[in-house]
Amino acid sequence: RDPGAKTRITVLGATGSIGQSLADLIQRNPDSYEVVALVANRNAAGLADMAKALKTGSALLAEETCYPELKERLAGSGIATGAGEAAVLEAVTQDTDIVVGAIVGSAGLKPTMAAIRPGRRIALANKECLVCAGDLFMAKIRATEAELLPVDSEHNAIFQVFETDKADMVEKVILTASGGPFRSVSKADMAGVTPQQALKHPNWDMGARITIDSATMMNKGFEVIEASHLFPVAHDQLGVLVHPQSTVHGLVQYKDGSLLAQLGSPDMRTPIAHCLAFPRRMNVPVKRLDLAELGTLTFEAPDLDRFPALRLALEAMRAGGMAPAVLNAADEVAVDAFLKGRIGFMDIPAAIEEVLDAMGAGGKLTDAAGVEDVLAIDAEARQKTGEWIRTR
Ligand code: NAD
Ligand code: MG
């Protein structure tokens, strides 16, 4: 391709929090990027507006019942439309340079995996791909020689300071965690928190599911599993550090005693821009860190007793096989039930633990041979979690 040509981008999960931060960057750099396709679930109005603003080639919804509205809103725009799983999977086959994987949940598994092709860059926000099917996902990345760049801020930070050519000299990889809105709340008080309280993240503005996962610290557990696939380190070399200011995003400790970190304002446009421009950098109008104004950065060890979700995630990682897929599916269902007021906050880890114990007993959660295995386990875990919730 012409070296001056624009970089082509396909976005999976365009209307979400990550999708909107990405759209902001694309709109600020119209000479560098063009959008091939935008995919969302059911938000026809949001997708149509974004499609027009970004002048995308096509706009697709996963949910077919929402298609008539999308079609009507984009009539006469020259933008191709489509809906349904087959249309989404077809859209990722179109020529493109970067696919941004920003669907939420295990729903992102199939389309993101299908997007892995030779010569492409996958900018991955959907951590569920690595949590639920990390071995399969990484195997396909290696087999196709596609390029995988992490959008998740902690992993992007670690990627920026991880000296790949000296991986044998890495001692520890550390992910920071804000600790969420209940960082210093007692277990007894956490049992009574409402969805509104849990949805108020102190530092980051994100989608509902990941915001609740941050409040339980399940998100950090997912991220440790994610890191175990992204970086060539053993499980016991991965650490979590609670850092309420969300300023230091990730650290790598080397055998010579050096500790390298990436710092920045908590704004996802920085890691997304890093993935788009890599190995160059992009101008991004995020708030600059003023360390003198901040004055103090604090750090503390995570509390696995008050945050059992983090403990469950670490256990699932060590158990291996499809235990992390069960962990994620049970969490998706439990978080949804919490948001709908059906269960309490501390019921989220309780439900997950029961389902993991029931499904993992006797080493039943073996390695997945393919994505279909993962989706079958995912469905079973969802059903079992649903049952647990109904008997509450
Ligand atoms: P969100 O809920 O704001 O948006 C989710 C997007 O996925 C929407 O565009 C929705 O339409 C789409 N979607 C949902 N189901 C779909 C389906 N079946 N098919 C196609 N599209 C579907 O979520 P988010 O906060 O943007 O997070 C997206 C992913 O990025 C998650 O995996 C999350 O863990 C990860 N992530 C997000 C942040 C953040 O700051 N928001 C940071 C790190 C990682
Ligand atoms: Mg993160």
Measure 92 CA to ligand 2 centroid, in angstroms: 25
Quick check: is 207 in a domain?
yes
- Segment holding 83, helix H or strand E: strand 80-83
Integer Cα distance of 213 and 180 in angstroms: 9
Measured from the alpha carbon of residue 155, the closest ligand is: 2
Q: Are residues 159 and 96 in the same domain?
A: no
Residue 301 has pLDDT above 80, yes or no: yes
Q: Are residues 244 and 257 in the same domain?
A: yes
Pocket of ligand 1 (CB under 6 A): 13-19, 39-41, 43, 62, 102-104, 107, 125-128, 152, 204, 206-207, 210, 268
Q: Are residues 159 and 183 in the same domain?
A: yes
Q: Is the ipTM of this complex over 0.90?
A: yes
Q: Are residues 143 and 11 in the same domain?
A: yes
Measure 59 CA to ligand 2 centroid, in angstroms: 27
Looking only at the bridges linking them, the beta strands covering 121-124 and 98-101 are parallel
Quick check: is 140 in a domain?
yes
Q: Are residues 180 and 253 in the same domain?
A: yes
Measured from the alpha carbon of residue 220, the closest ligand is: 2
40: domain CATH number is 3.40.50.720
Residue 360 has pLDDT above 80, yes or no: yes
Integer Cα distance of 374 and 135 in angstroms: 11
Q: Are residues 237 and 113 in the same domain?
A: no
Measure 73 CA to ligand 2 centroid, in angstroms: 34
> For the chain, what is the domain count?
3
pLDDT tens for 30-73 read 999 999 999 999 999 999 999 999 999 999 999 999 999 999 99
Residue to mutate (ligand 1; options 60, 206, 265; most atoms within 8 A of CB): 206
What pLDDT shows up at residue 4?
Answer: 87
Quick check: is 111 in a domain?
yes
Q: Are residues 299 and 159 in the same domain?
A: yes
What pLDDT shows up at residue 361?
Answer: 80
Nearest CA to ligand 1 atom 12: 13
Dmax (CA) of the chain? 62
User: How would residue 191 be classed by pLDDT, with cut points 50, 70 and 90?
Assistant: very high
Residue 286 has pLDDT above 80, yes or no: yes
Q: Are residues 195 and 73 in the same domain?
A: no
The answer to whether 377 and 247 are in contact (CB under 8 A) is: no
pLDDT tens for 153-183 read 999 999 999 999 999 999 999 999 999 999 9
Q: Are residues 19 and 130 in the same domain?
A: yes
Q: Which domain holds residue 378?
A: 320-392
Task: Give me the helices (H) in the chain, please.
Answer: 17-28, 44-54, 67-73, 85-91, 109-115, 128-144, 153-161, 187-190, 195-198, 208-216, 218-230, 269-277, 291-294, 308-319, 323-339, 347-360, 371-390
pTM for the full predicted model = 0.98
What pLDDT shows up at residue 132?
Answer: 98
- Amino acid present at 257: G
Chain centroid, CA 280 distance in Å: 23
Q: Are residues 147 and 157 in the same domain?
A: no
**Token digits for 274?**
């890093």
- Amino acid present at 217: M
Quick check: is 386 in a domain?
yes
331: domain CATH number is 1.10.1740.10
Q: Are residues 159 and 146 in the same domain?
A: no
> How large is the average pLDDT for residues 83-100?
98
Measure 18 CA to ligand 1 centroid, in angstroms: 7
Q: Are residues 328 and 195 in the same domain?
A: no
Residue 362 has pLDDT above 80, yes or no: no
